[in-house]
Amino acid sequence: MYNKIRQLSKEIFPKILEVRRELHSHPELSNEEYYTSEVIKNFLKENDIEYSQLGDSTGVIAIIRGEKQGKTLGIRADIDALPIQEETELPFKSTVKNVMHACGHDLHVSTVLGAVYVLKHFKEQINGNIKFIFQPAEEDGQGGFKTIYKWGALKNPKVDAFVGVHVFPEVSVGQISIKNGVIASAAGGFTINIKGKGGHGSAPYQTIDPVLIGCRVVEALQSIISREVDSLIPSVLSVTTFHAGQKSNIIPEEAIITGTIRSASSEQVENIFNRVKRTAVGIANASEAEAYVEGGLGVYAVENDKEITEKFAKAASKVIGSENVIWTDRYSLGSDDFAYYAKEVPSIYFKLGIKNESIGAIYPNHNPKFAADEDSLEIGTNVISAFALDFINN
C-alpha cells in the first residue's frame, strides 16, 4: 500500500505543482476566493470526485465514499491569501497588486488535492468516508470556520477526526514536524480609540493631545508581558498600527492603536486583553482624555490529540521514513482557526517542511519574500494519504 501511495504521489506531482503556481499567480483575499474555488472544482471534476459548494461561500467540500461503512476523516486546506505586495522574483509571482500567498495556503490546497488523487485510487479499500474541506477566510479570525460550520460541513456524514496541514519555513523540505498538545497559540487583539481635544499645533496647551497620550499607552503596554504575566506561559503582545492626524500643524481629536496578543493559553489572551484595557483607560483618564478599548480572544489554541498524533507519526514514517518525522516540544505563536476543528473532534495539525536555503526558501510566513521548496507538495501528499488510509481502515 505504501509503495503505491508513493507512486501515485509522484504521478500527480506535476499537476499539483501546476495548480500551486496558478493559485500563487492569482491570489485572493478572505471571502473573495472565487477563482481559487473554480480551480479546486475543476481539479475535482477532472478526477470524478463528488463535491459541493458550501452555500453562498467560496468554500468547497469534496468526499470519497468508501465501499463499506465506517469512520469519516476530515482533511482541511485553507485557501485565502494576504494583503501583501510580493517581493520575490519567481516566474509565477503574484499578478495581483498588494495580494500574495505569503502564508502558503496555495501549497496547502495543492497538497490536499494531491491526497484526493491518491486516495481515490483506494476507494474500494476504504471503510468509511474521507472529506476534504477547502476553507475560505482562515486569515479572518473565526470567519472561515464559522462558514464551514454554518453549512454543516462537519456533518452528513459526521466527521470523527481531522487533519490540518501548514507549511513551515523552519523545517527542512522532506520533513514534517509534529507535537502532542498545543502546537499553535491562541490569538486575540485590541483596538484602542483615544479621544482627546484637537487644536492648532502652535497651541498644544489648548488641546488634549491624543498622539502624546497614545505614545504613553504604547510604551506602557510593553511592560504587561514582562511584569504582569506568568513567564512560564509564553505570550506576546505587539502594537502593530498607530493612526492619528492628517496635517503637520493640527493636533488631532483622536488616535487609534491596534495590536495582537498571542499565548499558549486561551485564558491568558483574555487576561492580557483586560490589562491592555485597564492600562489604556487609566493613562487616558489621567490626561483628561477618554479611551475606548475593544477586542479580546479571537482564536483558541490549536491542540493536537495525543492518540491521533501518534498514529499520524506512525503512518508518516512508513512513507517518508521515521528520521523525517520530527517530534518537537516547541509550538508556534502563530494561530489558526483549525483550533475550532480540533475542539470539535480529535485532530492532528502538522507542520510541513519547505525550507531550502539554496533556493531562498528561508523567509517566514507573512513575509513579502516568502518562498517554498515545492518538493514539499509530494511529501505532504504522501503523509496525509498514508494516515488517511491507516485511520479509516484501522
| Residues 16 and 158 occupy one common structural domain | yes
pLDDT of amino acid 122: 94
| Residues 51 and 147 occupy one common structural domain | yes
Q: Which of 299, 315, 345 is the last residue of a domain?
A: 299
| Residues 88 and 131 occupy one common structural domain | yes
| Residues 127 and 239 occupy one common structural domain | no
Catalytic entry in 254, 303, 374, 378: 374
331 has a pLDDT exceeding 80: no
Do residues 161 and 345 lie in contact, with contact meaning Cβ atoms separated by under 8 Å? yes
| Residues 20 and 104 occupy one common structural domain | yes
| Residues 176 and 194 occupy one common structural domain | no
**Confidence bin at 232 (pLDDT 50/70/90):** confident
pLDDT of amino acid 52: 92
The residue-averaged pLDDT of 119-125 equals: 93
pLDDT of amino acid 213: 98
The residue-averaged pLDDT of 69-92 equals: 96
The residue-averaged pLDDT of 9-27 equals: 98
Range list of H helices, the chain: 2-25, 34-46, 105-120, 143-150, 210-228, 266-286, 306-320, 338-344, 376-393
CATH code of residue 48: 3.40.630.10
The pLDDT tens digits for 172-207 are: 999 999 999 999 889 999 999 999 999 999 999 999
| Residues 319 and 174 occupy one common structural domain | yes
Grid coordinates representing 2?
505504501
How far is 177 from 382, CA to CA, in rounded Å? 15
Catalytic entry in 300, 340, 341, 349: 300
| Residues 194 and 170 occupy one common structural domain | no
The per-residue pLDDT of the chain, averaged, comes to: 94
| Residues 181 and 259 occupy one common structural domain | no
- Please indicate whether residue 341 is annotated as part of the active site: no
Domains contained in the chain, number: 2
Domain that residue 306 falls in = 2-185+301-393
Do residues 190 and 259 lie in contact, with contact meaning Cβ atoms separated by under 8 Å? yes
141 has a pLDDT exceeding 70: no
Share of the chain above pLDDT 70, in %: 99
pLDDT of amino acid 290: 97
Kindly state the helix (H) or strand (E) to which residue 199 belongs, with its residue range: strand 199-200
CATH code of residue 230: 3.30.70.360
Q: Which of 249, 266, 299 is the last residue of a domain?
A: 299
Kindly state the helix (H) or strand (E) to which residue 296 belongs, with its residue range: strand 290-299
Report which of 125, 134, 133 is spatially closest to residue 65, judged by C-alpha positions.
125
| Residues 284 and 306 occupy one common structural domain | no
Helix (H, G, I), strand (E, B) or coil at 4: helix
Q: Which of 270, 299, 328 is the last residue of a domain?
A: 299
| Residues 131 and 250 occupy one common structural domain | no
- Please indicate whether residue 50 is annotated as part of the active site: no
The pLDDT tens digits for 205-219 are: 999 999 999 999 999
143 has a pLDDT exceeding 70: no
**Confidence bin at 142 (pLDDT 50/70/90):** low
pLDDT of amino acid 199: 96
Q: Return the amino acid letter for 104.
A: G
Q: What is the DSSP string of 143-194?
A: HHHHHHHHTTTTTTTTP-EEEEEEEEEEEETT-EEE-SEEEE-EEEEEEEEE
The residue-averaged pLDDT of 44-64 equals: 93
| Residues 331 and 195 occupy one common structural domain | no
